[in-house]
């Protein structure tokens, strides 16, 4: 399920990145022409034009109009791509959650548990989830066009230091405008990945709450084994393996985070199954971290944070801190090193 959901996010990111690159290729000639005019004006007068003077340049207005048209189309394309990816993520989650829960049962009980869990996931509730997810995505993507356009205009007004070679000056100015345009692309990519993964989490939460009679909670799963372990941030390492109530949102990891929400079944005997259970197969956080090389541990933590952890001056729980963001949602991020040093000093 994680692979499928992550794949939908990756597909959306690749598609959007290509669209933004192609859009810049279309508008770049108009910007080069406009900037050439501005640089020539600035060289002649020995200063960069002010906003009023810039607005009077016909080529600038043409470039801005072309950019705005492209940006409006990109914002609409971003909305459509993310909504589609989120819909696929929800469908994959609903399809897989019964198997995930049933996999925690003895073999002879799995089909009955799968049927039981599936029956609790109502299509009407999923329609509500899709509507809410769509509204959230639309709210995130709506400012894309205006914000990117405003950033490009700011670069024009800011200008560029005049050099001895007007051609080099123009090239630097176009690069600055391109950077502002690319900022919109980076934001679109972040929205695509984050909102697709959050759609999975919302659907998983519903499936878990609908089956509260067989579940004890959910487990935060980060990538702590395999090739991706060294790229997992300290916050996600700290929260890996922690158990949370079914009705709590999450995992509330950082933007573009790929942590998963695994349902935790009640003990077998609490479900009327008179059998001894095997050990939990979820990787233990400390064991997984100890299995990393020294270089990999430093890559995860950084040398100063790692030294505090190894010396026992901080514990795992100190590594993550919750940040509230009214424009998005709460998220857990790595606690700054200055705060960790303060915590370590208080423990002396």
188-197 pLDDT, tens digit per residue, is 999 999 999 9
The one-character DSSP state at 283 is: P
Residue 290: CB atoms within 10 A of its CB come to 9
Same domain, 173 and 233: no
User: Which are the contacts of 84, defined by CB distance < 8 A and separation ≥ 6?
Assistant: 12
Task: Over range 61-84, report the average pLDDT.
Answer: 95
Is 252 within the bounds of a domain? yes
Entry field: residues in the chain: 348
pLDDT tens for 96-129 read 999 999 999 999 999 999 999 999 999 999 999 9
Residue 81 has pLDDT above 90, yes or no: yes
How much is the average pLDDT of 41-49? 89
Q: Mean per-residue pLDDT for 228-253?
A: 93
In a domain, 141, yes or no: yes
Helix axes 144-158, 166-209, angle to 10 degrees: 160
Task: Indicate if 229 and 180 belong to the same structural domain.
Answer: no
- Is 327 a residue whose pLDDT tops 80? no
- Domain end, chosen from 211, 244, 274, is at 211
Q: Tell whether the model's pLDDT for residue 280 goes beyond 90.
A: no
Give residue 33's pLDDT. Answer: 94
Q: Cα 100 vs. chain centroid, distance in angstroms? A: 24
The domain total for the chain is 2
Under a CB-based contact definition with an 8 Å cutoff, are residues 152 and 158 in contact? no
For residues 27 and 135, membership in a common domain is answered with yes
Within a domain: 87:
yes
Q: How many C-beta atoms surround the C-beta of residue 153 within 10 A?
A: 18
- 210, 122 Cβ separation under 8 angstroms: yes
Instruction: Look at residue 347 in the predicted model and tell me its pLDDT.
Output: 78
Confidence of residue 46 (pLDDT cuts 50, 70, 90): confident
Mean pLDDT calculated for residue range 312-328? 89
Q: Are residues 235 and 182 in the same domain?
A: no
Last residue of a domain, one of 182, 211, 240: 211
The pTM (predicted TM-score) of the whole model is: 0.86
The two tokens of residue 330 are: 């709460």
| Span 166-186, average pLDDT | 91
Average pLDDT of span 207-233: 93
**Residue 347 within a domain:** no
- The least confident of 16-20, 42-46, 316-320 is 42-46
Write out the two tokens for 154: 């700011």
Do 207 and 232 lie in one domain? The reply is no
Q: What is the mean pLDDT of residues 254-259?
A: 86
In this predicted structure, what is the pLDDT of residue 169? 86
Q: State whether 205 and 222 are in the same domain.
A: no
Task: Tell whether 292 is covered by a domain.
Answer: yes
In a domain, 348, yes or no: no
- Measured over the CA atoms of residue 13, residue 17, residue 18 and residue 19, the dihedral's sign is positive
Q: Within a domain: residue 311?
A: yes
Residues 15 and 52 in one domain: yes
pLDDT of residue 168: 87
Q: Which of 211, 228, 246 is the last residue of a domain?
A: 211
23 and 79 housed in the same domain: yes
Count the Cβ atoms, other than its own, within 10 Å of residue 198.
23
Pairwise CA distance, residues 39 & 173, whole Å: 9
Q: Given this model, what pLDDT does residue 256 score?
A: 83
- pLDDT at residue 175 is higher than 90: yes
Residue 245 domain-assigned (yes or no): yes
Q: Do both 83 and 47 map to the same domain?
A: yes
- Residue 271 has a pLDDT of 93
Q: Which two tokens stand for residue 281?
A: 């197969």
Whether pLDDT at 163 is above 80: no
Per-residue pLDDT band at 178 (split at 50, 70, 90): very high
Amino acid 250: pLDDT: 86
Residue 89, pLDDT score: 94
- Considering the domain architecture, whether residues 128 and 240 belong to the same structural domain is answered as no
Q: What pLDDT is recorded for position 76?
A: 95
Q: In this structure, how many other beta carbons lie within 10 angstroms of the beta carbon of residue 20?
A: 23
Q: Which range of residues forms the domain containing residue 231?
A: 216-342
User: Domain check: are 136 and 266 in the same one?
Assistant: no
Using the predicted structure, report yes or no on whether residue 322 has a pLDDT greater than 90: yes
Confidence band for 336, pLDDT divided at 50, 70 and 90? very high
Report the pLDDT value the prediction gives residue 326, as an integer from 0 to 100.
79
């Amino acid at each position: 399920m994680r692979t499928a959901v992550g794949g939908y996010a990756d597909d959306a990111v690749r598609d959007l990145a290509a669209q933004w690159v192609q859009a810049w290729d279309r508008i770049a000639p108009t910007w080069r022409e406009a900037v050439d005019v501005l640089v020539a004006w600035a060289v002649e007068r020995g200063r960069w034009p002010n906003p009023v003077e810039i607005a009077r340049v016909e080529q600038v207005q043409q470039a801005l109009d072309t950019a705005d048209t492209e940006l409006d189309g990109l914002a609409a394309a971003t909305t459509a791509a993310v909504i589609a990816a989120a819909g696929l993520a929800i469908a994959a989650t609903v399809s897989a959650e019964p198997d995930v829960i049933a996999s925690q049962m003895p073999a002879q009980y799995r089909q009955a548990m799968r049927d039981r869990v599936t029956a609790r996931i109502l299509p009407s509730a999923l329609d509500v989830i899709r509507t809410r997810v769509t509204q959230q995505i639309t709210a995130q993507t709506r400012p894309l066009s205006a914000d990117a356009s405003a950033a490009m205009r700011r670069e024009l007004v800011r200008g560029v230091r005049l050099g001895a070679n007007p051609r080099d000056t123009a090239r630097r100015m176009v690069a600055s405008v391109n950077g502002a345009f690319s900022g919109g692309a980076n934001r679109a990519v972040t929205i695509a990945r984050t909102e697709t993964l959050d759609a999975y989490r919302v659907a998983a939460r519903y499936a878990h709450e609908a089956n509260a009679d067989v579940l004890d909670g959910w487990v935060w799963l980060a990538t702590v084994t395999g090739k991706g372990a060294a790229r997992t941030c300290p916050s996600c390492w700290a929260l890996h393996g922690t158990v949370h109530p079914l009705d709590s949102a999450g995992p509330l990891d950082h933007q573009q985070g790929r942590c998963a929400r695994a349902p935790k079944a009640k003990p077998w005997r609490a479900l009327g199954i008179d059998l001894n259970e095997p050990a939990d197969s979820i990787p233990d956080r400390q064991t997984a971290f100890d299995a990393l090389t020294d270089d990999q541990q430093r890559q995860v933590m950084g040398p100063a944070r790692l030294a505090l952890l190894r010396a026992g001056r901080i514990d795992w729980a100190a590594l993550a801190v919750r940040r509230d963001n009214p424009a998005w949602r709460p998220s857990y991020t790595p606690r700054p090193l200055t705060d960790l040093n303060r915590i370590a000093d208080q423990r002396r």
